[in-house]
Structure 1
Amino acid sequence: MRSNRIRTTALAATALLAALSLTACGGNDNGNDGKAGAAAPAASVTATTPDTGKDAKDAKETDSGTAKAPAENVSTTSKGSTGGSRSGKSSVGTTASGNKSPVTCTGSNTKVTVSKVSRPINHLLLTATNTGSVPCYAYHAPALRFDDAQAAFPVLRDSIPQAVVTLAPGQSAYASIGLSGEPDGQELHKSAHLSVYFTGKANQGSTGASAELTLPAGTTWGDNGFVTYWQSEMADALMY
């Protein structure tokens, strides 16, 4: 009996120890879960921290790259501006000395000549060359007067150029004179002298000095003749 009790007690103790062991294991599992749960955020934080650092680094590098682009542009612009400023100063100097505002062409800043041409027949060619130091505008058409004629010579409206002729120093403008027009058989006048007047932008009368020219020998003209507008090319003047 006593032996059975001892055995029973031993079995009970063994069962109790087993139960305690299971309880301890369960407690350890729970502890591990807790630790794992605590570790998860830590791991998450640890994972986030490198990512955040990488993102920050990338962002920094991106910002740095973005910052470098304007810096390079500014540098380039600055160099360009510096070069441009130097060039600009040079340009300003050139503008101040060589590219002054144009004035109106007149007999005082141009040399005007008149010559006879073979084609078209019965035509003369006027050439006005800028002898001044600044550009000049050859506005509209020259106003002509043969000898002491009472009226100015007719102007051919069909010869209006697309733009005002601007003459740089040394350049020339051209106008042709049709000495006689249709119909044939008109009365012709013989002249030895020609006065050439320049007009202003408003085309109201003459402006400045006139050019006084000697006509080619034997020049005759009719009331139906004409003079063209000033042209930048000789061929354009002689096509009428």
Structure 2
Amino acid sequence: MRSATRLVSRTAASSMVVAALALVGFQAAGQTASAATPKASSVVTCTTANTALTVTEASRPINHLLLKATNTGTKPCYAYSAPFLRAGADAQAPLPWADETTPQAVLMLEPGQSAYAGILTYSPDGEGGGEEKTLGVYFTDKKGSSTGTEKTLKLPNGGVLFNSAATVTYWQDNAADALSW
């Protein structure tokens, strides 16, 4: 009888140890998951407040500009979709996005890293148009809306011709891809 009681006591004790270890493991897993959450939430949306923007004329292809956005903040930021661009102060609508340039993933820019967008300013197939001296830039948020704060850039050479064929690429991680379409 004593050996049966000892066996039951040892079995019960072993079960309690296994249950306690399982509970500790579960709690540790929960702590690991919550510890990872703040890191994921520390990535912000790229805006005109945390990036520096420049626009330059591309030597190739013709009729193209290159827009560069560099993360100047202290946290990584997401460059969602493509920028909303307003060619000239009187523009009524943003330039359309070139859907064929949609990247496979959202670009995340570490501090100091850059994203690029290619801008086709005009084509012989386009209609109307005129020379514009400024380019208004809005970033896009996760939902595809404007972040709300515009940055106005002066265009190279005192002005650039835009017509109805003007389009902009999605953000790319390098200038060559932004200008290859």
TM-score, length basis structure 2 = 0.74
Structure with more relative contact order (C-alpha pairs < 8 Å, separation 6 or more): 2
Match of 1:227 in 2: 168
Match of 1:159 in 2: 101
CA RMSD after TM alignment: 1.9
Counterpart of 1:209 (choices 135, 139, 149) is: 149
- Give the Cα separation in 1 of the matches to 2:59 and 2:132: 19
- Give the Cα separation in 2 of the matches to 1:168 and 1:211: 21
Q: Secondary structure at the match of 1:236?
A: helix
Q: Secondary structure at the match of 2:59?
A: coil
Deviations 1:5-47 (A, max 9, x none): xxxxxxxxxxxxxxxxxxxxxxxxxxxxxxxxxxxxxxxxxxx
**Structure with more helix by fraction:** 1
Q: CA deviation at 1:182?
A: 5.1
Q: Percent identity?
A: 50
Q: CA deviation at 1:233?
A: 1.1
Counterpart of 1:144 (choices 85, 91, 99) is: 85
Is the CA contact 1:139–1:201 (under 8 Å) kept in the aligned structure 2? Answer: yes
- Give the Cα separation in 2 of the matches to 1:208 and 1:183: 32
In structure 2, stretches of 5+ residues that fail to align are 1-34
Which moved further from structure 2: 166-175 or 150-159? 150-159
Q: Secondary structure at the match of 1:174?
A: strand
In structure 1, stretches of 5+ residues that fail to align are 1-91
Match of 2:118 in 1: 176
Matched ranges for 1:76-115 at <5 A: 101-115=42-56
Q: CA deviation at 1:218?
A: 3.1
Q: CA deviation at 1:159?
A: 0.5
**Structure with more strand by fraction:** 2
Q: CA deviation at 1:100?
A: 6.6
